[in-house]
Chains A and B, each alone.
Chain A
């Protein structure tokens, strides 16, 4: 089964790239391929000028080198409860990576861990506590501190706020944006929440069934979405106020097809209100829609 099928994009240094789409669209899988937590079957990836893998050329980074690279590329998970070891106190959780990557040892590593926790808004006093003694938002702060401890260049955040209460989500987003400023981080932000992505990301890619259907800057995408799926997705966002209900909504019928039996041609044609015969046969490729805006649809010019 092809979970992700021919996705290409560039993430510029210091920006936040958002991957958005519904469940099963391959956004998390794409992120995990980048960190080599999953090995891609084909394609290539470069990070900071270095080739991490290139399936065509048959090259792949040596284990040792990859280990060093892991320091530069960290991850923040969706569920802060499941991603923290319940048997370790939070200081040790943050220090583990520091020791493993030999940034410091013993007391020095602990101090470094405490600093990271403090940067993420957790007091030193609580560093000996265990994950279950913290609230969801605080646990996510631990997860961020752990990622930050290795002084990475790149952090992939996989739905980092979806499991949190509404009033806590804004705190975590503000923290992530402060850290980005302070350390010049680059983020890959995976989310299903369009509002968050619009607010937080510079560039956004919309995925559907393992393919990128549209990408562009936040304003290119949100002000003038071209792909029917992106348009439907944006129009599904709930109203801001009761007075703004019943705006023109592009209704999608049916559910996302199973990725194990993807539709032929354009993968969206089964749910697309604009699909014609050609869409069933011909696979659309990303083409420029002005600026950095790209769209993969055979009919986008006609239907806009």
Chain B
């Protein structure tokens, strides 16, 4: 398969540093990702693992004043990291759109819903006037907002969290982007609303063939929506494969731990939950070897000294672990 052609987004050796000189910390430590057209890539990890920073780096939203981005981000054949702010502004919201976690804070409270969606259309596509209004109403309808002509005139505070997130999705879809980055888009929502929003993402993905990066800490949400999954920990990708493979056959001890710490999975009964010892590392705690070694039950000497490479241990299944061959079947 020719990934060069298939890929809508390719990330090569992305490194992100925050801060200056002696306070400089590495937040992303050289990640490679390949998103094929029409696929949904799930990016999983806990707080501070770098999943949101990755998405901000793709969008060119990291301020050059206090962060440094190295590596290549190639979107649709175009290298993004060297683009001017102006050029990037034409891509952002147009061919790459983003949906954030907090629909409450991502909408401007002093403008109407219609104005805010219309702005995207007039800015990127030069659609104005009545055509703009019709287009907006159509977009609201496409994200299943009832009575969209009335909602068009509303201010954000009149809408519930789920409705606001629909508006955000309508706004993201406005220019029919090739790529949508959704950063924890359902985390702030109730379960029944979360299910509605996930259905909506699936439906839009199927209808328009939009490629997606879906960021979440919730393995349940990822199981619902992702085709491929990359598991991140401390700024590294620890495991990467298709979603089906990951849930059937998690190979990295961290992934395994996350899977088994889930509750309500099959009939666990009231036995003790599997739990990963220790705490989630902060980017300030840099360890020499594998970043997961301090919490890993199977860490050996080598794990503490040298970081393993992300290796393909089975076709399409990459794992960053020294011990993976020795423990293919059982964990303890």
Partner-B contacts on A (CB < 8 A)? 22-23, 135, 137-138, 165-171, 173-174, 177, 192-196, 198-200, 232-233, 235-245, 249, 251-252, 254-256
Contacts and interface: CB of A to CB of B under 8 A. Distances in A.
A181 B262 CA distance: 22
B195 A249 contact: yes
B39 to A, nearest CB: 13
B223 A199 contact: no
Contact of A243 (B196, B198, B244): B244
A192 B279 contact: no
For the complex of A and B, 6 pairs with smallest distance between CB atoms: A195-B264, A238-B220, A170-B261, A170-B275, A199-B263, A22-B190
B22 interface: no
Contacts of A23: 190
A138 to B, nearest CB: 7
Contact of A167 (B224, B258, B264): B258
B268 interface: yes
Interface residues of B, number: 47
Contacts of B270: 199
8 contacts: A165-B47, A170-B275, A195-B263, A199-B268, A236-B191, A240-B220, A241-B223, A242-B243
A213 to B, nearest CB: 13
Contacts of B220: 195, 237-240
A196 B265 CA distance: 10
Interface in B22-61: 46-47
B264 A165 contact: no
B266 A240 contact: yes
B191 A170 contact: no
Contacts of B167: none
B111 interface: no
Given A166-B258, A238-B198, A241-B248, A174 B191 contact: no
Interface string B185-217: 000001111111011000000000000000001
Contact of B46 (A138, A167, A171, A245): A167
B115 to A, nearest CB: 23
A22 B262 CA distance: 20
A203 to B, nearest CB: 13
A166 B162 contact: no
Contacts of B173: none
Given A238-B221, A240-B266, A169 B261 contact: yes
A245 B224 contact: yes
Contacts of A135: 279-280
Nearest to A241: B247
A189 to B, nearest CB: 12
A240 B223 contact: yes
Given A240-B220, A245-B223, A173 B263 contact: yes
Given A198-B264, A237-B220, A239-B220, 18 more contacts: A135-B280, A137-B280, A167-B254, A167-B280, A168-B279, A168-B280, A170-B261, A170-B274, A177-B272, A192-B190, A199-B264, A199-B270, A235-B195, A237-B264, A238-B194, A239-B224, A245-B223, A249-B195
B283 interface: no
B319 interface: no
A235 to B, nearest CB: 8
B99 interface: no
Contact of A195 (B247, B258, B265): B265
Contacts of B192: 22, 232-233, 236, 252
A92 to B, nearest CB: 23
Given A165-B47, A173-B263, A196-B264, A251 B275 contact: no
B127 interface: no
Contacts of B272: 174, 177
Contacts of A166: 46, 217-219, 258, 261
Contacts of A168: 279-280
Contacts of A252: 192, 196
A251 B257 contact: no
B273 interface: yes
Given A233-B192, A238-B220, A196 B263 contact: yes
Nearest to B268: A199
B128 interface: no
Given A237-B264, A255-B162, A242 B244 contact: yes
A198 B226 contact: no
Contacts of A242: 223-224, 226, 243-244, 247
Contacts of B248: 241, 243
B263 A200 contact: yes
Given A241-B223, A251-B196, A167 B263 contact: no
B261 A167 contact: yes
B122 interface: no
Contacts of A235: 195
Contacts of A169: 261
B125 interface: no
A137 B279 contact: yes
Contacts of A239: 220, 223-224
A195 B162 CA distance: 21
Contacts of B96: none
